């Protein structure tokens, strides 16, 4: 069904202002104190019972409206250490202090500000028609999604004791596809991700006398190249997996050999056996390259973050997308999972309820030419002029993205709240 924007509810000016405020004041993962306080006060204004500080900066709000299902609605709230280059009038000039103590620029480059504002807008829709549904709305504003830590932290800090066992957990993410489209998969929807920090311990020395040193840069370079064969030579063509060396650091002076090199590696996989095979291959290659260079001290391979597979309950997803598709949004159920990852599934797993997660389009449809739209649909290819999430230029088109997100979330929530 083609999208019908006239059926989407427009956000109140205060929800649009909330979005702009969150966008202007992004905070790093686990440091979302201002964001959490702002969202908690929005929930209190709307008569929710609010619990602060769940898993660090997480916020949980409960709204009871008679007997009926409990529907958990989750939005993540963290920004990224990226300098915003969107040129928006409400662009961020914020900085934050990262875990290494370095001051970094911060930006809502993944759209989590929009997730939070759209969830508040969806609550307004639900409250405006409170006589048409019964049950409990459990709102979860989750910190630290980007580092894969926030959902686990909220669960470990007693989320179940606040929300009980919901009937369903719903979550959504904005993407650069045209507004009006919503996309999900039944079953595996997001990759498991595993991030490793690798430290290679060489022997430093003078650049003029490499024979007296053990050069960690050569070993790092060999590791980077050899790791490319884990996917290209060790992984079957029909087995989806991704391995990216995402950072490499070594040395300072132009006339010295450093004593250490550090790499980070990001893995994405879609089942447990591939995941274990990739992790073992990384360890094997790192250790073997260090041994080949005659390093006495073994390198360290430390898992620093990640997220489990994102599993959409097939039945609950089918139901939810049926309702979304009938509501004036163009609902696509795809068969290929995305290679992106999400820790949303941790919540449903821990609470023992089905999870449904989807992406919604946040880009004005007229920014796509008909040809670009068709290559998006057939090959999943984004046009070069449309930045994607995590780009310094990524910015949802507010007039489209916010109403579409509110409409998708409120439609999905109402479907479950009216199903008692």
Helix, strand, coil abundance in the chain, percent, nearest 5 = 35, 30, 35
Contact 116, 20 (CB under 8 A): no
Q: What's the min distance (Å) between Cβ of 381 and Zn ion? A: 20
Q: Which is nearer to Zn ion, 174 or 295 (CB)?
A: 174
SS3 346: helix
State yes or no: residue 110 binds Zn ion (CB under 5 A): yes
Cα–Cα distance measured from residue 32 to residue 395, given in angstroms and rounded to the nearest whole number: 20
Site membership for Zn ion, residue 144 (CB under 5 A): no
42 marked among binding-site residues: no
d(CA 172, CA 257): 48
DSSP secondary structure, 49-68, as one string: EEEEEETTTEEEEEEEESSS
Least distance between Zn ion and beta carbon 394 (Å) = 10
112 is in an annotated binding site: yes
Helix (H, G, I), strand (E, B) or coil at 26: coil
Which CB atom, from 50 or from 110, has the smaller least distance to Zn ion?
110
Closest separation between CB of residue 259 and Zn ion, Å? 34
146 is in an annotated binding site: yes
Q: Is 145 marked as binding a ligand?
A: no
Pick between residue 394 and residue 416 the one whose CB is nearest to Zn ion. Answer: 394
Q: Which stretch binds Zn ion (CB under 5 A): 33-41, 108-116, 117-125, 322-330?
A: 108-116
Instruction: Name the one range near Zn ion by CB under 5 A: 84-92, 107-115, 365-373, 391-399.
Output: 107-115
Based on the shown chain and the rule CB under 5 A, indicate whether residue 356 belongs to the binding site for Zn ion: no
Q: Which is nearer to Zn ion, 219 or 310 (CB)?
A: 310
Rounded least distance, CB 167 to Zn ion, Å? 25
Region binding Zn ion by CB under 5 A among candidate stretches 109-117, 286-294, 328-336, 409-417: 109-117
Stretch that binds Zn ion, among 104-112, 292-300, 352-360, 406-414 (CB under 5 A): 104-112
Stretch that binds Zn ion, among 106-114, 183-191, 193-201, 330-338 (CB under 5 A): 106-114
Number of residues that bind Zn ion (CB under 5 A): 1
CB 171 within 8 Å of CB 408 = no
Tokens 């490319």: give the residue: 228
Q: Which is nearer to Zn ion, 116 or 282 (CB)?
A: 116
- Region of 102-110, 191-199, 371-379, 410-418 interacting with Zn ion (CB under 5 A): 102-110
**Bridge-partner residues for 269, per DSSP?**
192, 241
Distance of closest approach, residue 73 Cβ to Zn ion, in angstroms: 16
Q: What are the beta bridge partners of residue 84? A: none
Q: Are 73 and 138 in contact (CB under 8 A)?
A: yes
What are the CA-CA distances from residue 149 to residues 56, 78, 136, 189, 403 (Å)? 10, 11, 26, 19, 29
Q: Cβ of residue 274: shortest distance to Zn ion, in angstroms?
A: 22
* Nearest CB to Zn ion, comparing residues 10 and 391: 391
Angstrom distance (rounded) from CA 410 to CA 121:
8
Please give the distance of CA 402 from its chain centroid, rounded to a whole number. Answer: 18
Residue 70: which H helix or E strand, with range? Answer: strand 70-76
Q: By C-beta, is 58 or 258 nearer to Zn ion? A: 58
- Which residue has its beta carbon closest to Zn ion? 110
Residues 6+ apart with CB under 8 A from 344: 74, 76, 142, 145, 151, 169, 171, 310, 355, 357
Q: What is the spatial distance between Cα 280 and Cα 243, in angstroms, rounded to a whole number?
A: 13
> Smallest distance from the beta carbon of 173 to Zn ion, in angstroms?
6
Tell me which DSSP letter residue 93 carries.
-
Which CB sits closer to Zn ion, 77 or 223? 77
Least Å distance, CB 49 to Zn ion, is: 27
List residues near Zn ion by CB under 5 A. 110
Annotated binding-site residue numbers for Mn(2+): 110, 112, 146, 173
């Amino acid at each position: 069904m083609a999208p019908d924007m006239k059926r989407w509810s427009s956000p109140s000016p205060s929800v649009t202002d909330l979005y702009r405020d969150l966008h202007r004041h992004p905070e790093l993962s686990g440091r979302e104190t201002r964001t959490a306080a702002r969202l908690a006060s929005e929930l209190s204004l709307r008569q929710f019972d609010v619990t602060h500080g769940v898993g660090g900066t997480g916020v949980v709000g409960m709204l009871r409206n008679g007997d009926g299902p409990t529907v958990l609605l989750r939005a993540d709230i963290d920004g990224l250490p990226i300098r915003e280059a969107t040129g928006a009038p409400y662009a961020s000039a914020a900085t934050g202090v990262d875990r290494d103590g370095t001051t970094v620029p911060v930006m809502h480059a993944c759209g989590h500000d929009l997730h939070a504002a759209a969830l508040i807008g969806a609550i307004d829709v639900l409250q405006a028609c409170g006589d048409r549904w019964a049950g409990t709305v459990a709102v979860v504003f989750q910190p630290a999604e980007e580092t894969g830590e926030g959902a686990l932290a909220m669960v470990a800090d007693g989320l179940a004791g606040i929300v009980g066992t919901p009937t369903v957990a719903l979550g959504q993410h904005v993407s650069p596809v045209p507004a009006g489209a919503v996309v999900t998969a039944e079953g595996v929807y997001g990759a498991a991700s595993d991030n490793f920090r690798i430290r290679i311990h060489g022997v430093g020395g003078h650049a003029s006398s490499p024979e007296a040193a053990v050069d960690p840069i050569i070993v790092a370079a060999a590791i980077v190249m050899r790791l490319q064969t884990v996917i290209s030579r060790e992984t079957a063509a029909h087995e989806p997996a991704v391995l990216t060396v995402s950072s490499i650091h070594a040395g300072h002076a132009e006339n010295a050999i450093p004593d250490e090199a550090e790499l980070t590696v990001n893995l994405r996989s879609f089942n447990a056996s591939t995941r274990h095979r990739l992790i073992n291959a990384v360890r094997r290659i790192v250790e073997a390259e260090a041994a080949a260079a005659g390093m006495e001290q073994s390198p360290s391979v430390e898992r620093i973050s990640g997220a489990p597979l994102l599993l959409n309950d097939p039945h609950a997803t089918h139901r939810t997308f049926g309702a979304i598709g009938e509501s004036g949004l163009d609902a696509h159920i795809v068969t290929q999972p995305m290679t992106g990852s999400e820790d949303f599934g941790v919540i449903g797993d821990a609470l023992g309820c089905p999870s449904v997660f989807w992406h919604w389009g946040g880009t004005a449809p007229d920014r796509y030419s008909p040809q670009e739209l068709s290559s998006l649909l057939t090959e999943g290819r984004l046009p070069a002029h449309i930045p994607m999430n995590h780009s310094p230029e990524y910015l949802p088109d507010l007039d489209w993205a916010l109403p579409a997100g509110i409409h998708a979330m409120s439609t999905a929530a109402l479907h479950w709240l009216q199903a008692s």
